[in-house]
Amino acid sequence: MVFFSLVRMKICRAEYKTIAKFIEQLRPTRQCMKILKDRFPNHSQSTLLSIFSLEYQKRMKRTLVKHQDVVEDYFQRYRSEAKKRPSDPVLLELANEVDLSPSLLARLLVERFLEEQQGSVSSKQVLNSMLKEPSLIPDMQLAKHVEQCTINDCCYGPLVDCIKHAIGQEHEEILREKLRERNLSFLDENHLRAKGYDKTPDIILEVPIAVEGHIVHWIESKASFGDEQSHRTYLNEQFWSYWNRFGPGLVIYWYGFISELDCQRDRGILLKDCFPTDIVTLCHGSSHC
């Protein structure tokens, strides 16, 4: 598993498309990140992993229905190979062969296995608990193969979910620490929820600041790369609602973003790939203190 680290990286739209095109041929294996880094040496591995994850998830969403239609074939192939080569990672090999996320294939086959065992479709809760803890699967061999899929999948699965959550929490703490270093008073999500707010940014500044000449009332931390699709979704589902409620704000994409997306500054949403260094503290009347 590859871990993220702090980076400062903006990429133009054309270059992003070049990277995305190259990613189309890659599978989510340990070797794929080395291949990607060798091809694009000027970009950090953290940024490339974030881009790979975004593009791979788009690919999986486009093709998942096709795989769901042939689950029975995959299940029988898995059973046959598992009998012939019981000590080999046959489920992981099958996932790479059919170009499906190992964790997604594991999910489909565990669901099919449970359906056969119980004669009915299992609840999501039961299925999720088995994927999180494969030892709960009542077939030791399948449990071992599911665990191999989880460990070797860098884009999907319970292990990746835990890591992404931890990374998100870590970067929110980095943001809070940088605000404290500059003696900037703020309320975080916990404070805001205690006040009854339901949809809130990570940080509300008690006294607004100016960054590169733009007033900032709130800050949102994103421990990911900002591509067009995810940024559009965030704008519609989060950022504009923050703007309506709290005024103009700042979004930090810690692993970079497509530079052309930073086009809403005049409307009140500023993008950065690091914590800003040129902060001016404002009084409540928006004049310099």
Tens of pLDDT, residue by residue over 49-84, are: 999 999 999 999 999 999 999 999 999 999 999 999
Fold annotation for 166-281: Trna Endonuclease; Chain: A, domain 1 (3.40.1350)
Tens of pLDDT, residue by residue over 160-178, are: 999 999 999 999 999 999 9
Query: Does the pLDDT at position 1 exceed 90?
Result: no
pTM of the model: 0.86
Segments making up each domain of the chain, as ranges: 10-156, 166-281
Tens of pLDDT, residue by residue over 249-267, are: 999 999 999 999 999 999 9
Tens of pLDDT, residue by residue over 208-238, are: 999 999 999 999 999 999 999 999 999 999 9
Q: Where residue 93 falls among pLDDT bands split at 50, 70, 90?
A: very high
Nearest residue to 169 via CA among 233, 204, 221: 221
**For residues 91-113, average pLDDT:** 94
User: How far apart, in whole angstroms, are the C-alpha atoms of residue 198 and residue 224?
Assistant: 23
